[in-house]
C-alpha cells in the first residue's frame, strides 16, 4: 500500500535489469515532486500510475521530476511524461538523458582504446555496443534546470542538494535537515555496494573520472551530515548509516588488498586481474566487472601500493 510518511511516499517500480525494482519517491512541498522516474517500460508506467492512484493522484498532478542520477532505471520513464514536465538534476545528467550520436561515438572511441590498454582481447570489444541496448530503457529529455551542491530545489525549501559522484558522475542526494532524512539515489544501498561505473571524461576534462575514489569520498562526506534515515534507490531504508559506511569501506579495502596480493605475485593487465576477481561474470558483464577492477586499482594507486608500466597493454605490479 502506497502511503505518505513525513511528506514522502515511496513507490517501487519494476525494471528489466538484474538489480530488480527501483524506488522512486513523491515529495510534498510547494510543488509535488517525483524523485527519479523509473525505466522506460509500459509496466513501470502502469505501476507508477496505480500507486499514484492509491494516493488519489494521477501522473498529471506531478509538477516536477528530480533525478538522483542518469541511469536508465532511474531516468528512462521521463519519456512517458509530457514534454512540458520540468526536470531538475546535476548538469552531468544531460549527456546521458539526451544522448546524441556524437556522444555515443565519443563513448565507443574512448572505451575501445581504453579497453585495449586494459588488455581486453579485441573480440570482447563488442561489449561496448551493449550500451545501446541499455539506453533502450533510457530517455531523450533535457534538464529544465541544474541542481548543484548545497542548492535548494525549486518548490522544496526544506531540502538541500549534496553532490555524491561515484556510481554516476551526475549523482546527487537530497537532505532534509529538520529530521535528518536523506534521499540517496544509489550512493548507498542496504544490501549491496553500488558499482563504481566507468564513464568517459566529463566535458572539459581529458582524464577519465576515478569512480571508486569519488564514491569513497562521497561516503565520507555523508558521515559529516546528521543523517537519521536513508531512502535508497533500490531496496530497504538504512537507519544505521555510519556503521554501514564504515563496514563498506573496510570491505572495499580488503578486496583491494586481494588484488594487491595478485600483483605481488606477478605483473598483470587489468583484464587478467578482472578475470581472477570475477572468473565467470567477466564474460557477460565485462563493463561492470572492469569498472570494479579499475576501481580497486585506482584505490591501490591512491594509497601508494602499486605501480604501472605504460606498455601496451598497461601492466600493474605491487611496489
Nearer CB in complex with Zn ion: 48/297: 48
d(CA 270, CA 288): 13
**CB nearer to Zn ion: pick between 119 and 295:** 295
Strands (E), the chain: 4-5, 8-13, 22-27, 33-35, 64-66, 86-89, 145-146, 159-163, 172-176, 181-185, 229-232, 306-309, 315-318
Q: Which is nearer to Zn ion, 73 or 199 (CB)?
A: 73
To Zn ion, the closest distance from the beta carbon of 256 in angstroms equals 24
Q: To the nearest whole angstrom, how small is the minimum distance from the Cβ of residue 67 to Zn ion?
A: 11
Least separation in angstroms between CB 3 and Zn ion? 23
Smallest gap from Cβ 36 to Zn ion, in A, equals: 8
Q: Which is nearer to Zn ion, 33 or 68 (CB)?
A: 68
Shortest gap between Cβ of 233 and Zn ion (angstroms)? 5
Q: CB-wise, 148 or 192, nearer to Zn ion?
A: 192
Report, in Å, the least distance between residue 164 CB and Zn ion. 13
Give the distance from CA 185 to its chain's centroid.
8
Largest CA distance in the chain: 63
d(CA 68, CA 173): 6
Burial 248-286 (b: 16+ CB within 10 A, else e): bbeebeebbeebbebbeeeebbbbbbbbebbeeebeebb
Residues that bind Zn ion (CB under 5 A): 73, 186, 233
Which one, 186 or 292, has the nearer CB to Zn ion? 186
The residue length of the chain stands at: 319
Give the cell for residue 293. 577492477
| Cis, peptide link before residue 313, omega less than 30° from 0 | yes
Amino acid at each position: 500500500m502506497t502511503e505518505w510518511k513525513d511528506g514522502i511516499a515511496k513507490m517501487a517500480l519494476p525494471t528489466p535489469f538484474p538489480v530488480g525494482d527501483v524506488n522512486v519517491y513523491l515529495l510534498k512541498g510547494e510543488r509535488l515532486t517525483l524523485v527519479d522516474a523509473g525505466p522506460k517500460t509500459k509496466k513501470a508506467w502502469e505501476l507508477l500510475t496505480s500507486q499514484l492512484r492509491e494516493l488519489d493522484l494521477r501522473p498529471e498532478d506531478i509538477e516536477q521530476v528530480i533525478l538522483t542520477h542518469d541511469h536508465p532505471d532511474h531516468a528512462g520513464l521521463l519519456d512517458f511524461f509530457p514534454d512540458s514536465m520540468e526536470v531538475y538534476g546535476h548538469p552531468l545528467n544531460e549527456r546521458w538523458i539526451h544522448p546524441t550520436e556524437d556522444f555515443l561515438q565519443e563513448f565507443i572511441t574512448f572505451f575501445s582504446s581504453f579497453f585495449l590498454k586494459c588488455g581486453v582481447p579485441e573480440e570482447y570489444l563488442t561489449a561496448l555496443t551493449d550500451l545501446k541496448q541499455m539506453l533502450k530503457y533510457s530517455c531523450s529529455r533535457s534538464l529544465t534546470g541544474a541542481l548543484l551542491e548545497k542548492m535548494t530545489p525549486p518548490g522544496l525549501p526544506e531540502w538541500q542538494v549534496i553532490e555524491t559522484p561515484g556510481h554516476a558522475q551526475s549523482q546527487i542526494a537530497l537532505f532534509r535537515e529538520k529530521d535528518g532524512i536523506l534521499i540517496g539515489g544509489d550512493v548507498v544501498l542496504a544490501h549491496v555496494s553500488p558499482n563504481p561505473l566507468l564513464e568517459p571524461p566529463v566535458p572539459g576534462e581529458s582524464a577519465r573520472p576515478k569512480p571508486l575514489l569519488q564514491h569513497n569520498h562521497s561516503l565520507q562526506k555523508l558521515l559529516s551530515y546528521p543523517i537519521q534515515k536513508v531512502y535508497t534507490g533500490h531496496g530497504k531504508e538504512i537507519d544505521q548509516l555510519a556503521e554501514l559506511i564504515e563496514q563498506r569501506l573496510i570491505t572495499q579495502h580488503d578486496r583491494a588488498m586481494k588484488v594487491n596480493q595478485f600483483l605481488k605475485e606477478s605483473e598483470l593487465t587489468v583484464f587478467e586481474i578482472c578475470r581472477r576477481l570475477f572468473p565467470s561474470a567477466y564474460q557477460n558483464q565485462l563493463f561492470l566487472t572492469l569498472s570494479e577492477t579499475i576501481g580497486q586499482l585506482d584505490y591501490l594507486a591512491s594509497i601508494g601500493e602499486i605501480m604501472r608500466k605504460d606498455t601496451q597493454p598497461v601492466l600493474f605490479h605491487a611496489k
